[in-house]
Amino acid sequence: MTDDGSSEPATASRDRGEQRAERSENGTDADADATDAAGGDDGTETGETDRTDPVEDVEAPEYYLSRELSKLRFNERVLAEATDERNPLLERLRFLSIFTDNMDEFFMKRVGGLKQQRAVEITEPSPDGRLPAEHWREVLEYAEPMARHQATCYRDELKPALSEAGIEIVAYDALTDAQRAELDAHFEESVLPTLTPLTADATKPFPHISNLSLSLGVLTDAGDGPTFSRIKIPGNRPRFVTVDEKHVLLEELVAANLPQLFPDVEILEHATFRVTRNAEVRRNEEIAEDLVQRAEEVIEQRRFATVVRLEVEASMSERMLSVLLTNLDVSDREVYRLPAPLDFSDFDELLKADRPDLKLPEWTPQPHPRLSGHADRSIFEEIQADDLLVHHPYHSFTGTVQAFLDRAAADPDVLAIKAAIYRTASDSKVIQSLIDAAENGKQVAVMVELKARFDEQNNLEWAKRLEEEGIHVAYGTIGYKTHTKTALVVREEADGVELYSHIGTGNYHSETAKHYEDLGLFTANRDIGQDLVKLFNYFPGQSLHEDYRELLIAPGNMRERFANARAGEDARIAAKMNRLEDPAVIAELYRASQAGVEIELVVRDICRLRPGVPGLSETISVVSIVNRFLEHSRIFSFHNGGDPEYFVGSADWMERNLDNRVEAVAPIHDPRLQDWLEHVLELALSDNRKAWEMAPDGSYTQRRPGSESVRNAQATLMAEVREDRDRSRQ
């Protein structure tokens, strides 16, 4: 296989004990270079820790990493994909864009929350011992070099490489006279009508600067001193304008034509800037008349929320910057001076170029072999025969989840459909299936979560549409965010009413299912179906059941069931999740490690646990995978004395998931499906191309195959699902 992981054959996972021995020899194993648990992400000294005596206080703050700094380290790993020359050029550009989106969300959510806590002088430390003000300062200091690294990566690596490959991004001034004339004509016809300069002077207030909008600040002088104006670069126009296959940034074209916007005045200066606002606005749910009102108010408040970051072009003068600082009420610490261009979020426009030589091979999700190889059996008959586990985006969402809902909507024997919608596509076929079901006389009930951050508006619109169709809609619950990804189909059959359940790790979103790695269980297990009946009755009701036959439900029995699963002798734990943050879970993992339990974790994103600390977590290893698909599934595996338990579902090991959200995790009983989940875990844990190993101080080192064969978990799964497809066609 090539080193970019584009065409790896399916291979068996290698024994990981052998790999750990090799890493120890190479000096990368945590035990081989143990650091003091109190050192690391806060820059304090590191030193030797007693290797024999177990740590007594496993809940001490020094054994918990900063959630915010851990998130930034994840974003560093994302940025590393943009700098990795082994990746195709346009794939690197895609990760440069993803990094911008990730950092925007981080500042809106996490930095915004810290700034709020700092403003009201909260004195309760986080589990790692930091106060909000301290945390806020550290985060801003850590993030600034990352932003500079992104800018230099583009300027020094990607832009020259793109130019060499024939994708030229050039300055307006570098164009010929004829090319500039062509672009100027385009500006006058298609861009100028969309622009509205907003000037701040004695008669006009400082304009509102919308969140994440790219702006051009302009200082002019009409004879009575400098005046500031803001021009919003339109987000609904392409970021690049093209002439003779040369790409020019839209803001440069606007800057070159400023005299058309400010005639008969002297233009003193222009520079781009970008504002990030706090998304952590809150409305008291008890005061709001209903959750619809609350969601609408949150959307409105975000428009005018506190500024948490100001990015400015490095060439901006102190005079213009002082205008922004004064009127936006931000401190010098919150200002990031960066080389132009600012905002790489829409640079992925260039991925539309017909250049397969600069991209990873295209991936088309494949049919599930059990749903494509038995044309004589319906999807309900297939689920009734055996539980079915689907894996996106390796398996098609359309051919599995969507087919399940479409068949349920049309099947005359289906009596009712219930679904929980957290996020869905703006043109959702899932929603259309539910509407079709109602029109066909089914009883349809839908839980639409109006508190799904940044999707409130989309979910409000869908909820209203569903109600207009006569469908019963529940809007979530006071005090909890409904994060479960579940659906239930009630069907009349010869032997009575049957229940068909779907429990997933990802949203009912056809687009993200093409790019997010997720799992979904289809089962006719009666106990799981009855558990879902209880859960769906809670959404429009008043109280949540605490007793369930099979499902692990938060905030009901999930925390206790996971704690029991971690107990036992001769145990092994292997788990895959997005984030590991809950202090109580981490403390239990530390205790299990002290008892000798082997614990192998795949944590994509935030991880507050310190692996490999002598006397505390010597048997714990953590890897993170950053690859073409976003690793999003949650798999939990517990081996207690040879009695394995496997679970999949919507919850990470985070306090919010276990205590403050409605979540569902399902057991996997079928030995064949258990073996397959173990295979998925093994592939992730043995990956040496896209996996990063975590050290006790919270830092990560990317694995390199060296002289070994390349093991890319996602490439292997793609190859395997193609083989399954080919076998099903024979």
Q: What are the chain's domains? A: 23-65+552-729 (3.30.870.10), 173-357 (3.30.1840.10), 369-538 (3.30.870.10)
| pLDDT above 70: percentage of residues in the chain | 85
Q: What is the pLDDT of residue 29?
A: 37
Q: What is the pLDDT of residue 727?
A: 80
Non-local CB neighbours of 24 within 8 Å, separated by 6+ positions: 31, 32
**Tens digits of residue pLDDT in 561-612:** 887 766 555 689 999 999 999 999 999 999 999 999 999 999 999 999 999 9
**Tens digits of residue pLDDT in 589-602:** 999 999 999 999 99
Q: What is the pLDDT of residue 382?
A: 95
Element (H, E) at 254: helix 250-256
Contact 333, 143 (CB under 8 A): no
Q: What is the pLDDT of residue 185?
A: 97
What residue spans of 567-637 are helical by DSSP H? 583-594
Residue 173 carries which DSSP code? G
What residue spans of 305-392 are helical by DSSP H? 318-328, 369-372, 379-385
Phi first, then psi: give them for residue 560, nearest 5 degrees.
-65, -40
**Tens digits of residue pLDDT in 432-483:** 999 999 999 999 998 877 654 545 566 567 667 777 877 877 776 667 788 8
The residue with greater pLDDT, 699 or 302, is: 699
The residue with greater pLDDT, 653 or 303, is: 653
Distance from CA of residue 559 to its chain's centroid? 23
Q: In the predicted model, is pLDDT for residue 728 greater than 70?
A: yes
Angle, helices 16-25 vs 671-686, to 10°: value is 10
Q: Is the dihedral of CA 88, 93, 98, 99 positive or negative?
A: positive
Mean of pLDDT values over 392-407:
96
Gap between the Cα atoms of 631 and 528, Å rounded: 26
- In the chain, the N- to C-terminal Cα span, in Å, equals 26
Residue-by-residue DSSP string for 626-675: --SSEE---EEEEEETTEEEEEEES--BSHHHHHSEEEEEEE---HHHHH
**SS3 of residue 303 by DSSP:** helix
Q: What is the pLDDT of residue 289?
A: 43
Residue among 483, 502, 509, 632 flagged as catalytic: 483
Q: Which of 260, 130, 103 is nearest to 189 (CA)?
A: 260
**Tens digits of residue pLDDT in 525-537:** 999 999 999 988 8
Residue 546 carries which DSSP code? -
**Tens digits of residue pLDDT in 470-524:** 787 777 666 778 888 999 999 999 999 999 999 999 988 888 999 999 999 999 9
Mean pLDDT score of the chain: 86
Task: Give the bridge partners for 552, in sequence order.
Answer: 665
Q: What is the pLDDT of residue 299?
A: 43
Task: Give the bridge partners for 694, in sequence order.
Answer: 700
Q: What is the pLDDT of residue 373?
A: 61
Q: What is the pLDDT of residue 483?
A: 85
Is 509 catalytic? The answer is no
Q: What is the pLDDT of residue 286?
A: 42
Q: In the predicted model, is pLDDT for residue 294 greater than 60?
A: no
**Tens digits of residue pLDDT in 134-177:** 999 999 999 999 999 999 999 999 999 999 999 999 999 999 99
Gap between the Cα atoms of 297 and 451, Å rounded: 11
**Tens digits of residue pLDDT in 201-248:** 877 888 889 999 999 999 999 888 899 999 999 998 999 999 999 999
Residue 623 carries which DSSP code? E
Q: In the predicted model, is pLDDT for residue 4 greater than 50?
A: no
Q: In the predicted model, is pLDDT for residue 375 greater than 90?
A: no
**Tens digits of residue pLDDT in 9-50:** 333 343 444 443 443 333 333 333 334 444 444 444 344 444
Gap between the Cα atoms of 63 and 68, Å rounded: 15
Compute CA distances 626 → 74, 186, 237, 603, 692, whole Å.
9, 40, 31, 10, 8
| pLDDT above 90: percentage of residues in the chain | 68
Please give the structure tokens belonging to residue 369.
């072999």
| pLDDT band at residue 555 under the 50/70/90 scheme | confident
Gap between the Cα atoms of 523 and 648, Å rounded: 13
